Amino acid sequence: MSTVAASIKYNGKVVDFPLANPAENEIADEVLHENLARPTTERTKRLKARCRWKHAAAGEFVDAEVRAGIERMRYITEAHKASAGQPEVIRRALGLANILNKSTLVLQQDEFIIGYHAEDPEMFPLYPELAYMAVQDYLMSDYSPQPKDEAAEINEYWKKYSMQAKGERYFTQEELLQMYQVSTMEAPGFATGYNSISPPYETVLQDGLLKRIESAKEKIEHAKKEMQKIPWNATTGLDWIARIDVWKAMIIADEAVINWARRHARLAKIVAENFETNPARKEELLEIAEISQRVPAEPCKGLKDAFQSKWYTYLICHAIDRYASGYAQKEDEMLEPYYNISVKEKSFQPMTHTDVVEMVEMERLKISEHGAGKSRAYREIFPGSNDLFILTIGGTKPGYVDACSDMTDAILEGARNIRTTEPSIVFRWHPVGREKTKRLVFECIRDGLGYPSIKHDVIGTEQLKYYSQFSKNSNGATDEEAHYWGLVLCMSPGVCGRRKTHKTRSEGGGSIFPAKMMEIVLADGFDWSYSGMQLGPHTGDPTTFKTFELLWEAFRTQYAYAISKVIRAKDIMRYFESKFLQMPFVSSIDDGCMELGVDAMELSEQPNGWHNPITTVVAANSLVAVKKLIYDEKKYTMAQLVTALHANWHGYEDMRQDFLNAPKWGNDDDYADAIIKDFYEDIIGGEMAKITNYSGGPVLPVGQAVGLYMEIGSRTGPTPDGRFGGDAGDDGGISPYMGTDKKGPTAVLKSVSKVQKNQKANLLNQRLSVPIMRSVHGFNIWKSYMDAWEQLNIDHVQFNCVSTAEMKAAQKEPEKHQDLIVRVSGFSARFVDIPTYGQNTIIARNEQAFGADDLQYLNTQL
């Protein structure tokens, strides 16, 4: 039987919490999530049942069938050898063309959106031109590409040309060891190949690639005429050489993409005419063939075109030309014009709203079986999912006018109905957003999907305008462009649209770990618990720190050292990307690259620099405990603390309890919050903001944890907040440490709202009471909470709505809980595909109920 929340007394009356859906009274708490899926059609039900999930956990693939393919690495190598001597940007285009011309295409039963990026639907491609260590790791695994000898030979060939070899030359061996172990710093992109991008999908959908090719040809003609001008002027004339090469590369890439899409058209037609026996499916395959013949070559004319053209573009940008995580797009606004054509006007590809919901479900399932050839570090840190896929909806248009539409609703309905871990959704919250859509957002959250996560629309929009002032070519985001934003990955807004989007990870992303830094600050920069090496500068013996301020400054020194190093690594990578890892296809679909003849890896118009502090709250709570117990109350000495930590608190349990019970973040505690606010604004944000990155702007913190709060926790010794060595870190960017927020949900909001300066974004994880959210008052309570959150100017919030009973039942019988989804941090995951360590961190989060005091503060109308 389902649990019903206890009645409370509120505003002088007794409030009961009957379930909104009385039928759920018969469903036990332990199996609730297994009863919530309702695929819109029999087709999406079948597609979900046979979905080829590619979830990873602890660095391994959960499904034994998943393995690396060899075709991509084979064909890019073949092209690289054959193109020696040509301009590098042309070589990159020829590499893409060779992959697209020769690779095996895949078409699966029942699917409408077609296209895959490896030679078998259970495979994923590898990228030897990026990081040789990442490929070597695959070669040593059970899912190595075959034949292994050929793959090893390819990796050996690329070793000297790889981004890793190029980047490593500019760091000492000690620096590389410090970064590669991922304990105070995330390893640089040149050693992992990890990347993120926001493709300018809109040009493909609106213009089509044939028009882009024509533009490039016109540019070349113009350039040639400029070069022929008399008298010759080398100071301007020579600039055309590189630009001509960039435009030529764009043409090669776009023609190859068109041919590749049309190969898919042929495949669908051949299957229809030679293999398919079902007349309805035969007809559908012919329609699929007709669509792939037209797009992405031509502009999209209806919604089916748009879904397909977007998918092809996604595959090239995120998986075939180069690996990139994410699914960045402002999907509702991008698709709305085509929704209107197909659903409202019915003038092309006519369909109903329900048909659109089915399309959304099919797209979600395509993403769910997308394989990412990412390095081991990234197979570890998104446990229970296959990669980060996050799309953005909602928000506002210029003038802060509501941008929600029926397309927004279809995206939410599809997500709610099909229940997949990917892609995650971000909803941009603004008071003008329509309630109909907000109710659908609530239904997804209430059903335990963990998404949409919510971002503050005004903070995100104004932030992009702030960054635009640093534009190197004085062409940063306009007001209109600043309103059209989506998250690049989990947390950080970036411009979407035809121009100025985020093209590579030098601009943002990458992590830094304050909890581990706190540990080494107490050991003169030495890591005694994990690596046994000096991880940072010598900041002194902590027992000689006579004041709290000396400890504070020692931490600042460690932090400043690490953050400058990781941003330097990203910018060095960007330098080499612009010389050897150009992206001619991406350049061809960006209006700025097309206009200026500059490759996307080189051109930066809109700065958007950020880096992710992860486990900040462990360090912050530690500072609070040390200040209180050592410097203010003088109950213990620093020497006693250091001794107890080196013993992992064994023999010092009373002392540990004192440190554990010191004031903690998230309880609206003035003592803790004053220190922690300073910590965020002065050190975490303040030191980062001193940096100027490749794009000419400051770098600001985006606090978020992904699964790194587990990985770093397991590489971090005991800390003064009372943590044992190996325990997980804090799971958000600004979330209270699990189980320590004991004053209710509104106290959390009040604490978090105190941090405002020098921040770009901060992830707030909250776990809500299932019986309250599923009650008749669920929406009203949540809506009043969200309104308060918005007024407090908090950047982000996301929710778990899953019971401890159900998670514990799933730990016992995982096979019976395949549809149990949880929010980890920035992504949602299938609970049973997460290691036990990670599962326990989610169970340990406080389940926030709403008492009368909370409701009073929120002014909830019940």
Partner 1 sequence: MTTCKNCSFYFAVPEDAGDFEAGKGDCVLEREDAKGKYWLSKPTKNDSASCKAFKKA
Partner 2 sequence: MSATGNEKMMHAEPGTKKPCQICKWQIADPTNPLRGQCTVNRNTLGGVWKRWVTDVNGMTCAKHEVGKLSFREHV
- Binding residues (CB under 8 A) for partner 2: these are 57-60, 62, 133, 136-137, 140, 180-182, 187, 191-192, 375-377, 380, 528-532, 646-648, 710-711, 713-715, 717, 724-728, 835-838, 840
Closest to partner 2 by CB, 710 or 734: 710
Closest to partner 2 by CB, 133 or 220: 133
CA 710 – CA 377 distance, rounded (Å): 12
Q: How far is the CB of 706 from partner 2 (least distance, A)?
A: 13
Per-residue DSSP letter, 88: H
The entry of partner 1, partner 2, none near residue 653 (CB within 5 to 8 angstroms by kind) is: none
- Residue 120 makes contact with partner 1 by CB under 8 A: yes
Task: Assess whether the previous peptide bond of 452 is cis (omega < 30° from 0).
Answer: yes
Closest to partner 2 by CB, 213 or 710: 710
The entry of partner 1, partner 2, none near residue 255 (CB within 5 to 8 angstroms by kind) is: partner 1
Closest to partner 2 by CB, 133 or 256: 133
Closest to partner 1 by CB, 266 or 344: 266
Say if residues 796 and 789 touch (Cβ distance below 8 Å): no
Closest to partner 1 by CB, 74 or 416: 74
The entry of partner 2, partner 1, none near residue 646 (CB within 5 to 8 angstroms by kind) is: partner 2
Closest to partner 1 by CB, 71 or 795: 71
506 CB neighbour count, 10 Å cutoff: 26
Residue 73 in tokens: 């690495």
- Residue 533 makes contact with partner 1 by CB under 8 A: no
* Interactions with partner 1, residue window 232-271 (CB under 8 A): 255, 258-259, 262-263, 266-267, 270-271
Task: Assess whether the previous peptide bond of 231 is cis (omega < 30° from 0).
Answer: yes
Residue 626 in tokens: 């040390």
Residue type, 38: R
Q: How far is the CB of 391 from partner 2 (least distance, A)?
A: 28
Residue type, 471: S
Closest to partner 1 by CB, 258 or 563: 258
The entry of partner 1, partner 2, none near residue 266 (CB within 5 to 8 angstroms by kind) is: partner 1
Closest to partner 1 by CB, 47 or 246: 47
Q: Taking the mean position of all CA atoms in its chain, how far away is CA 354?
A: 29
Say if residues 761 and 797 touch (Cβ distance below 8 Å): no
Query: Which of 21, 109, 146, 657 is the binder for partner 1 (CB under 8 A)?
Result: 109
Q: How far is the CB of 184 from partner 2 (least distance, A)?
A: 13
Q: How far is the CB of 16 from partner 1 (least distance, A)?
A: 47
Closest to partner 2 by CB, 565 or 743: 565
- Residue 113 makes contact with partner 1 by CB under 8 A: no
Q: How far is the CB of 104 from partner 1 (least distance, A)?
A: 5
Beta strand 56-57 pairing with 13-15: unpaired
Report angle CA 254, 266, 369 to the nearest 5 degrees. Answer: 75
CA 379 – CA 139 distance, rounded (Å): 15
CA 257 – CA 293 distance, rounded (Å): 11
Query: Which of 18, 59, 87, 121 is the binder for partner 1 (CB under 8 A)?
Result: 121
* Neighbouring residues of 40: CB distance < 8 A, sequence distance ≥ 6: 354, 357, 358, 361, 413, 414, 417, 418
> Which candidate, 303, 284, 293, 298, places its Cα nearest to that of 264?
293
Q: How far is the CB of 746 from partner 1 (least distance, A)?
A: 47
Closest to partner 2 by CB, 279 or 532: 532
The entry of partner 1, partner 2, none near residue 528 (CB within 5 to 8 angstroms by kind) is: partner 2
Q: How far is the CB of 83 from partner 2 (least distance, A)?
A: 30
Residue 294 in tokens: 């037209």
Closest to partner 2 by CB, 549 or 653: 653
- Residue 274 makes contact with partner 1 by CB under 8 A: yes
Say if residues 833 and 62 touch (Cβ distance below 8 Å): yes
Residue 859 in tokens: 């002014």
Q: How far is the CB of 43 from partner 1 (least distance, A)?
A: 12
Q: How far is the CB of 294 from partner 1 (least distance, A)?
A: 13
Identify the sign of the CA torsion 518, 519, 524, 530: negative
129 CB neighbour count, 10 Å cutoff: 24
548 CB neighbour count, 10 Å cutoff: 16
Q: How far is the CB of 805 from partner 2 (least distance, A)?
A: 19
Phi, then psi, of 688 in degrees rounded to 5: -65, -40
CA 311 – CA 304 distance, rounded (Å): 11
Q: How far is the CB of 95 from partner 1 (least distance, A)?
A: 16
- Residue 110 makes contact with partner 1 by CB under 8 A: yes
> Which candidate, 304, 316, 192, 203, places its Cα nearest to that of 258?
316
The entry of partner 1, partner 2, none near residue 529 (CB within 5 to 8 angstroms by kind) is: partner 2
Residue 836 in tokens: 């036990």
Give the start-end residues of each E strand in 514-629: 526-527, 533-534, 610-613
Residue 396 in tokens: 């506002």
Number of residues that bind partner 1 (CB under 8 A): 28
Q: Which stretch, 19-27, 114-122, 170-178, 582-590, contacts partner 1 (CB under 8 A)?
A: 114-122
* Interactions with partner 1, residue window 48-107 (CB under 8 A): 50-52, 65, 101-102, 104-107
Residue 803 in tokens: 């019971």
Closest to partner 2 by CB, 293 or 840: 840
Say if residues 20 and 776 touch (Cβ distance below 8 Å): yes
Report angle CA 740, 744, 746 to the nearest 5 degrees. Answer: 120
Residue 543 in tokens: 């027992």
Q: How far is the CB of 377 from partner 2 (least distance, A)?
A: 4
Q: Is 242 exposed, middle or buried (0-12, 13-18, 19+ CB in 10 A)?
A: middle
Closest to partner 2 by CB, 238 or 647: 647
Q: How far is the CB of 538 from partner 2 (least distance, A)?
A: 18
Q: How far is the CB of 727 from partner 2 (least distance, A)?
A: 4
Q: How far is the CB of 34 from partner 2 (least distance, A)?
A: 20
Q: Which run of H or E residues covers position 226?
A: helix 209-227
> Which candidate, 613, 368, 369, 325, places its Cα nearest to that of 487?
325
Query: Which of 119, 226, 239, 287 is the binder for partner 1 (CB under 8 A)?
Result: 119
The entry of partner 2, partner 1, none near residue 532 (CB within 5 to 8 angstroms by kind) is: partner 2
Identify the sign of the CA torsion 444, 445, 448, 449: positive
> Which candidate, 163, 222, 153, 216, places its Cα nearest to that of 190?
163
Closest to partner 2 by CB, 56 or 362: 56
The entry of partner 2, partner 1, none near residue 530 (CB within 5 to 8 angstroms by kind) is: partner 2
Q: Which residues bind partner 1 (CB under 8 A)?
A: 50-52, 65, 101-102, 104-110, 119-122, 255, 258-259, 262-263, 266-267, 270-271, 274-275
